[in-house]
Structure 1
Amino acid sequence: MLFHTWPFAVFLALYLTVHLAVPAGWRLGVMIVGSAVFYGYWNWAYAPLPLLLCGATHLLTLWVAAAPDARWRLRLGVVLLLLPLIFFKYTHFLLTGLLAPLLRGLGLTPPATDVSILLPLGISFITFTLIAYLVDVARRRSPAAPLSRLAGYVLFFPHLIAGPILRPHELIPQLGQGLAVTAAALRPAVLVFCLGLVKKVVIADNLALLVNPVYADPASATAASSLLAYYAFAGQIYCDFSGYTDMAIGLALLFGVRLPVNFNHPYAAQSVGDFWRRWHITLSHWFRDYVFFPLGSRRASPLTLARNIVITMTLSGLWHGAGWTFLLFGLVNGLATLPEIWTKRRHPARGWRRAIRIVLTFHLLLLTFILFRAPDLDTAVGLFRALLGGNGWGDLPSLVAHMPFECLLVPFYLAAHAWDDHRRLAGWARGAGGPVVIALAALAVLLAASLGPETTAQFIYFDF
């Protein structure tokens, strides 16, 4: 059930009807049930999974808290929470990508591994949200919550599928405030949601039409079409994921809940490390706090610090997907972060130096995005070859002839990037009149209906 489709509009209308009709004390329970229905719409067989994981986390939290020295229990609890994720997401890769080549290298015949496991929607986000709860409660950063609040914290449907990845203190206290739907919250909620709608449908889905054919057949891609896909994917993935985040934040605002910022003008980054402090901020903070810091102090030796950064970024790459392309994506980004760390060049440059850093960082990141987008290493290699002119520039005239519509997307993209911080837009909407917000919302819907492609694509991060 995608936020920008009619099934979700029907679900939201029905849900709001029930939510507004019940007493305030019942709304958390209604939210849990409604979120379970929202999740189950994708695959009813997996509908109980988030609830089961919440119950397991609740029991693990009690078990960890019962020990005077809970360190080993906490480590075991984290491992146990990771097991479902490893099973669903990494079984195929472990068997075919690691075990089979290892056995062949030893001269042995690998067993038949026709493993096809359907990945539960949002399993990576759910798992990391639960680990954050277990660790923060065990370390007394957050108080333990009743099972109902824990379930609400995880299943709250605006962030359930693709984040932002929340900490307990960022949502659980807000669940006790009645989840009230107020007229004052309606204007910012609608406007932030509509910004995400335009990002996704008008920009990301149209750019996907330029990207997908090239990655589907890189052997036939020319340098011109590959270069176009190289740049188009930067806009697609940003507007796709930040568009989802905007819609999630807007929906949360409708219930009086404020979710954290997840993007901060990422393509204005002056280094790779700066980029990851601006892109998918809640995931970067998760890896910083629960992987990087436990590995050792930032005051460690340069080699130890480099090791910790590379490990953290490589694991972050694998979080995005089970495959060699994602592993290399994380590894390359980790290595590219090291110069900034070793030279301690964290202060932003100004003037022409700033412009040069931004341009270089942007193009380096786009090269790593090829690994992110390619379904396998052969496709990635094919795209790199095509970018180097392997198939010539023969279709350049025809591509230029079809570019006017794509050029119209540029101002939309620049405006979307400029309004990256939803708090500014929400603050403006609170002071705007109702007719102004209604007109802007109608314009957003009209743009999505008229400029969006005939078929809309699933959010990219739903795969993670």
Structure 2
Amino acid sequence: MLFNSFDFAIFLPIVFIGYWFLFNKTLKIQNLFILVSSYFFYGCWDWRFLSLILFSTIVDYLIGIGLSRKENITKRKLLLWISILMNLGFLGFFKYYNFFLHNFITAFSFFGKEISANSLDIILPVGISFYTFQTLSYTIDVYKRKLEPIKDFIAFSAFVSFFPQLVAGPIERATNLLPQFQKNRIFKNDLAIDGVKQILWGLFKKVVIADNCAFFCNEIFNNSSSYNGSTLVLGAIFFSFQIYGDFSGYSDIAIGVAKLFGFKLMKNFLYPYFSRDIAEFWRRWHISLTTWFRDYLYIPLGGSRASKGVIVRNVLIVFLVSGFWHGANWTFLFWGGLNGLLFLPLIIQKKNRKYTNDISNSFYFLPSFKEFFSILSTFALVTLCWVFFRAESLTHAFQYLNGIFSDTLFEPPLITFKLGLLVLLIFYMITIEWFGRFSEHPLKNLVKNRNIMFKISFYSLILILTIWFSGKQQDFIYFQF
């Protein structure tokens, strides 16, 4: 069930009414209703994989109980490793089995030895990369004694399968979300209204920006050899806004829907394309994943409190693993490694936290020339990296970049009315996000002090554009991860 589908438009009000008016007698009944609703939501995609979520839930629940009863460090480590191997084992099988098999066969063929092995027709369960990391955060935090293990199986199951963020995040920490299932929730009108605003903005970014960018991006990338360099640049830029509108749009909808039910999820995007260097970009992009790798991989490896050689190793490991997390393709590994190489000079020179303040805080209307140049150059580097993320193969990516940096780069790009309209819509989105960048999402406070007619006109335009462009439903990009 897609957030941008008619089915979800029916599902959400029904669950909302049931949650607040029919099944609100006790906390356990309310959590049970959320659990059943979440399983129905996921089952609409493929009910067979509900057993996978249930199995993962049961195992990590029991391991959490077991950790609370064990003081022996060896036995505690054993329980932790059972959870890690079980969760990553399922993830590895469904996501990477055929990748490793294919490369294993290719490696032996390179040395003149032929191996016969059949790949499996494996369906990748939607959201497995997300809920796997979410349950892992629980067992790791319980092991580290940062969190008391939960005894309420219904609450824990609802935490694992919470439908707003089940299939594409944010990847919630157990320390943040799980306690919210253990206390009574009261309907707050202000929180619900803010949730609706965030849902509207998320739908706008997905339906109006991402889906329209996808139309041109797919055409240009799939036929890249037929276009000149300037048109290929447009294709790369459109993909940058496609993946941003698609994924941050999903996150906004997920966070907004959670607010309707009295939950507060963590921020997943904080205007990343206004970043002034790569380090700032990665603090603002897919925050739930980058902080997960920071806390559960980078810091345990030694973090930045080590020799420069160890720091280089740690950074590259994290970025390579992050790239591989996105998919079983060498393009993702290369994309992750390339971002790591761009990040390294900043962390080695201890300039990776140069920009931790609000973006252009002293320039409400326009950034300074220096900041504008930094934002533009960072966006250009990120966009070039996205070419590897979007390309079908490394060969395709290098061919695409070769086409960009050819003598056709300064030829006029292919311009159509629809393309020009899309550029205007992107500029409209950038403008709203720039002036609303001081809030969690731009619609939160942007027109707070305006008169009622201005507010109605402002929200109506966004709603009309979203409805106008809501044609064919397109999957969210991160569903494949």
What's the offset of the Cα at 1:39? 0.4
Q: Tell me the residue number matched to 2:273.
A: 267
Aligned counterparts of 1:40 and 1:416: Cα–Cα separation in 2: 36
Task: Provide the residue aligned with 1:15 in structure 2.
Answer: 15
- Name the SS for the 1:309 alignment partner: helix
- Which residue of 63, 68, 78 maps to 2:72? 68
Equivalent of residue 133 in structure 1, options 116, 135, 138? 138
After the TM superposition, which of the residue ranges 348-357 and 178-187 deviates more from structure 2? 348-357
Residue 21 (structure 1) shift: 0.8
Please give the secondary structure, in 1, of the residue aligned with 2:45. coil
Report the residue type matching 1:249 in the other structure: I
> What is the SS of the residue equivalent to 2:269?
coil
8 Å CA contact retained: 1:195, 1:243? yes
Whole-angstrom distance in 1 between the partners of 2:409 and 2:307: 48
CA distance in 2, matches of 1:171, 1:365: 31
CA drift of 1:431 comes to 8.8
Are 1:186 and 2:163 counterparts? no
Residue 290 of structure 1 corresponds to: 296
Match in the other structure for 1:33: 36
Tell me the CA shift for residue 101 of structure 1: 1.6
Residue 116 of structure 2: aligned partner: 111
Please tell me whether the aligned partners of residues 37 and 47 of structure 1 are also in contact (alpha carbons under 8 angstroms).
no
Q: Which amino acid aligns with 1:147?
A: F
Question: Paired residue for 1:411?
Answer: 427
- CA shift at 1:150, angstroms? 1.5
Q: Residue deviations 1:71-120, cap 9 Å, x none?
A: 34323421221110000000111111x20121112321122433221100
Partner residue, 1:322: 328
Aligned to 2:222: 216
Change (3 A) 1:248 1:438: farther
- Structure 1 residues 432 and 75, CA, compared in 2 at 3 Å: closer, same or farther? farther
8 Å CA contact retained: 1:188, 1:429: no
In 1: Cα distance, 2:193 partner to 2:144 partner:
39
Return 211-220 or 174-183, whichever deviates more: 174-183
Moved more, 433-442 or 100-109: 433-442
Map of 2:373 onto structure 1: 356
Q: Which has the higher contact order (CA 8 A, sep 6+)?
A: 1
Q: Superposed, which structure 2 residues align to 1:208-247 within 5 Å?
A: 208-247=214-253
- Aligned with 1:47 (options 44, 47, 50): 50
Q: How far apart are the structure 1 equivalents of 2:104 and 2:369?
A: 50
Q: Does the Cα contact within 8 Å between 1:3 and 1:247 map onto a contact in 2?
A: yes
1:384 to 401, 411, 417: 401
Shift of 1:392: 7.2
SS at match of 1:127: helix
Q: Distance in 2 between matches of 1:372 and 1:100?
A: 24
- Residue number in structure 2 paired with 1:343: 349
For 1:27 and 1:99, locate their aligned partners in 2 and report how far apart those are by CA, in whole Å.
Answer: 49
Q: TM-score by structure 2 length?
A: 0.89
Shift of 1:389: 3.0
Identity level (%): 33
CA distance in 1, matches of 2:140, 2:446: 37
Alpha carbons of 1:434 and 1:170: their partners in 2 closer, same or farther (altered >3 Å)? farther
Structure 2: segments with no counterpart, 5+ residues: 361-367
**Separation in 1, partners of 2:32, 2:140:** 25
Letter in 1 for 2:18: V
When the two structures are superposed, what TM-score results if normalisation uses the length of structure 1? Answer: 0.92
